[in-house]
Each structure stands twice: as structure tokens, then as C-alpha cells.
Amino acid sequence: PKPVIAAVHGPCIGAGVDLISACDIRFCSQDASFQVKEVDIGLAADVGTLQRLPKIVGSQRWVRGLGLQPEMMLAPEALRCGLVSRVLPDKAALLEVALGVAVAIAARSPVAVQGTKINLVYSRDRPTPEGLQHMATWNMAMLQTEDILKSVQAALEKKGPEEVPFAKL
């Protein structure tokens, strides 16, 4: 699995909220708004919003309000509750930051990036000791990859990750 970055500008409604709730990193512009509208058309949000949002924002109260009424959330509140990591002034700044983060992640070892995502997802719903055990097992296997040697060598040579020929996954 690859990391997924959402860049939201303007209204993000219904299925849009479903989609961004599945993303790893979420940014938005100042004009963004978020609303779960399925209840207005006789449905319950059915593609992950009700399952993922409580874990993202850490509040059943907020998710119940958004899902049952449905309330509109503006960008500053989305930042306060943790739905987005950052609010940018406009679409251009939003895309610049989102693409910059994507480039920075892409410069890292794919083995390390994908391992991080896999372990974050694995540990999300499990007790910490179980997540730590999984991580230890995972890293024992990853010690066999050349990416670690290349990373250490690059660090010793004072090179950045973008200069390292990592494995392609």
C-alpha cells in the first residue's frame, strides 16, 4: 500500500468525506467545507465515514453530529478536530504543499514508507504490545533489504534521501 494524500478545496460532501477518511494525510484550503449528506437522501454514510472518522478525530460526539444532522464543518474546525493536518490560504498553496509532501515521501525508501503505512494500519485497532511485536517482526524482515545499507551509507556521505537509489516496489 502506498501513502495517499488528499488536497481538499471547496466543498467536500458525502462520498468525498468517505474518500478523504481513507487517506493517510489530509490538507485543505481555507475555502474547504466538509459535510456528510447521506442522511439527507435516506442513506447512512456507507463507504467508511462512520467507521473511520471517529478514529481520525477521536470524537464520537462530533461524528454523530456530522452524520445525523448533517452539520457543515469549515476548514478551521477541520484543523482543530484533526480531520486535516494543515489549512492553506488557497488552492495554489494547497497543491504546492501537497505535492511537496508527496515528493518528500517519494524520495524515501519505498520499503520503509510502505512498512510504516502497513504498521500504522495494523496497530490502529490493536493493543500497543501487539503492534510493537508486529513492528519488531516486520523490521527483522526489512533488515534484509539493501535500502537500509544504502540509507546508512548516504547518511555517512551526508547525502539526502533523494540521492539514494532505493528499491522500486
Rg (CA), the chain: 19
Q: For residue 29, give the C-alpha cell.
A: 484550503
SS3 category, 104: helix
Tens-digit pLDDT profile for residues 113-162: 999 999 999 998 899 999 999 999 998 888 888 898 898 899 999 998 88
* Domain boundaries 109-163, CATH class: mainly alpha
Domain 5-104 fold is 2-enoyl-CoA Hydratase; Chain A, domain 1 (3.90.226)
Tens-digit pLDDT profile for residues 7-49: 999 999 999 999 999 999 999 999 999 999 888 888 888 788 8
Segments making up each domain of the chain, as ranges: 5-104, 109-163
